Amino acid sequence: MHIDDLIRRELPAAARGDAHAYGRIVAASQNAVTAVALAITRDVPASEDIAQEAFLSAWKHLPRLQNAASFMPWLRQITRNLARDHLRASRNRPLDGEAAELAIARAADPGQCPAGLLLDQERDAIAAELISELPEESREVLLLYYREGQNSRQVAELLGLSDAAVRKRLSRARRCLRSELLERFRDFASGSAPGTAFAVAVTAALGGISKPAAAAGVATTGGTLAGGVAGKLLFGGIGAVFTGLVSGALTAWAMRWVLSRYADNDTERRAILRCYDVYLLTGLGCLALCLGCYALFDARLPFYAAVTATFIVLNYQLLGPLARTMTPLVQRDAQRNPRTAYWRTLGYRLSFGPSGVLISNITVVAMLVLLHFKTA
């Protein structure tokens, strides 16, 4: 999924305070934001601190944003301002002159250093100085190009440029670095990219979210419909309803075994399981319809319409085909031993009879009402 599509999908929920929706935006755009900061500061740890501050600042002022298309340009500008402020406040300046030449020489041939024992962090710090050798307008592009799997179109989308402009800047950047330095720069750019922990930390810093919960929300980021559905449903406001439906489905599966015990022979057992399996499969299909409507539509009407259709279809399954199959068998069981059959009959009526259907309908409606007012 393109970053613009993801932002359009997640930003309305994020603006209403959904930290997990914002976390998915962070995960999708963190390479771009850290690259913008790194291009200015030439310092990997500082760039990540600045990027985190930029995301938190954008989150704080998100309700002011009127147009989703303006989010990435706005976020990039926040990052650039923070990075420049960092440079002004920092006493450490980028290397220049002979110091810069020495840094580049070491990056190209670590064996020149005594015993070749430079630590990874030291090599990264030296490699970062390669950024200074690039034209200023090409730094963000080249960093992000290697962080995004050398996909120029993705870079163009993240930086708000045309693909032609990106390719032109890439060409200019390549001309400025010798091939061996360009290869080392590629390793540095991809190796210094923030991982999942960065987005998790930002999401957790929004307040009131544990890191495991933040990680769960961030982990759903992706270009598939399943990612969007899981992210919105498993860890959003609908999560309680979804969990209740899943636990209800597990209980219903156990009841399949209970119902089959009313059969005296294979023919009766097959008839029971055929009706009940149709009920279960219909229920799963209706559940998928409800979740799909919730995930795909911002408006609530399609979701509520799907829930209403689910009520009608499942109530018919319980009070129609299943009841016609089970009623004679339940009555037969009661006639055989009225004393021991009493509780079994009561359980059946509360689970599958009119009383049970009414109770379950009232329960689900009450949950939806609570959800409606909670998310309004």
pLDDT more than 70, % of the chain:
74
Q: How many CA atoms lie within 13 A of 365 on its CB side?
A: 8
Can you tell me the mean pLDDT for 86-108?
55
Q: Which residue has the tokens 């923070």?
A: 82
Q: How confident is the model at residue 280 (pLDDT cuts 50, 70, 90)?
A: confident
| Helix 44-60, helix 19-41: angle, nearest 10 | 140
Instruction: Specify whether 183 is located in the same domain as 306.
Output: no
Instruction: Specify whether 195 is located in the same domain as 248.
Output: no
Q: How confident is the model at residue 375 (pLDDT cuts 50, 70, 90)?
A: low
pLDDT at 64: 84
Number of structural domains the chain divides into = 2
Q: How confident is the model at residue 85 (pLDDT cuts 50, 70, 90)?
A: very high
Residue 112 domain-assigned (yes or no): yes
pLDDT at 80: 92
Q: Domain ends where: 164, 192, 223?
A: 223
pLDDT at 122: 56
Give a three-class secondary structure readout of the chain.
CCHHHHHHHHHHHHHCCCHHHHHHHHHHHHHHHHHHHHHHHCCHHHHHHHHHHHHHHHHHCHHHCCCHHHHHHHHHHHHHHHHHHHHHHCCCCCCCHHHHHHHHHHHHCHHHCHHHCCCHHHHHHHHHHHHHHCCHHHHHHHHHHHHCCCCHHHHHHHHCCCHHHHHHHHHHHHHHCCHHHHHHHHHHHHHCCCCHHHHHHHHHHCCCCCHHHHHHHHCCCCCCHHHHHHHHHHCCCCHHHHHHHHHHHHHHHHHHHHHHCCCCCHHHHHHHHHHHHHHHHHHHHHHHHHHHHHHHCCCCHHHHHHHHHHHHHHHHHHHHHHHHHHHHHHHHHHHHCHHHHHHHHHHHHHHHCHHHHHHHHHHHHHHHHHHHHHHC
Q: Residue 231: is its pLDDT beyond 50?
A: no
Residue 229 domain-assigned (yes or no): no
Instruction: Specify whether 90 is located in the same domain as 187.
Output: yes
Compare 337 and 210 and report the one with higher pLDDT: 337
Q: Domain ends where: 223, 257, 283?
A: 223
Instruction: Specify whether 289 is located in the same domain as 196.
Output: no
Compare 317 and 376 and report the one with higher pLDDT: 317
Tokens of 279: 């009920």
pLDDT at 53: 93
Can you tell me the mean pLDDT for 183-207?
82
Q: Domain ends where: 196, 223, 250?
A: 223
Q: Residue 110: is its pLDDT beyond 50?
A: no
Instruction: Specify whether 49 is located in the same domain as 177.
Output: yes
Instruction: Specify whether 149 is located in the same domain as 114.
Output: yes
Residue 208 domain-assigned (yes or no): yes
Instruction: Specify whether 272 is located in the same domain as 127.
Output: no
Instruction: Specify whether 173 is located in the same domain as 258.
Output: no
Q: Where is average pLDDT lowest: 88-97, 178-187, 200-209? A: 88-97
pLDDT at 374: 54
Summarised one tens digit per residue, pLDDT across range 29-38 is 999 999 999 8
Residue 230 domain-assigned (yes or no): no
Instruction: Specify whether 199 is located in the same domain as 249.
Output: no
pLDDT at 335: 82
Q: Where is average pLDDT lowest: 40-44, 106-110, 287-291? A: 106-110
Residue 311 domain-assigned (yes or no): yes
pLDDT at 233: 39
Residue 231 domain-assigned (yes or no): no
pLDDT at 339: 67
Instruction: Specify whether 184 is located in the same domain as 141.
Output: yes
pLDDT at 78: 93
Q: Residue 290: is its pLDDT beyond 90?
A: no
Residue 228 domain-assigned (yes or no): no
The CA distances from residue 257 to 101, 158, 261, 289, 335, in Å, are 76, 54, 7, 27, 22
Q: How confident is the model at residue 206 (pLDDT cuts 50, 70, 90)?
A: confident
User: Rounded mean pLDDT of the chain?
Assistant: 75
Instruction: Specify whether 13 is located in the same domain as 51.
Output: yes
Q: Is 120 exposed, middle or buried (0-12, 13-18, 19+ CB in 10 A)?
A: exposed
Residue 232 domain-assigned (yes or no): no
Q: Each residue of 268-285: b (16+ CB within 10 Å) or e? A: beebbbebbeebbeebee
Q: Residue 63: is its pLDDT beyond 50?
A: yes
Can you tell me the mean pLDDT for 70-85?
92
Identify the top-confidence range among 67-81, 263-277, 323-337: 67-81
pTM, 2 dp = 0.50
The CA distances from residue 324 to 69, 216, 275, 305, 327, in Å, are 57, 45, 10, 28, 6
pLDDT at 228: 39
Contact 111, 67 (CB under 8 A): no
Instruction: Specify whether 14 is located in the same domain as 125.
Output: yes
Residue 274's domain spans which residues? 237-375
Cα 321–Cα 334–Cα 328 angle in degrees, nearest 5 = 25
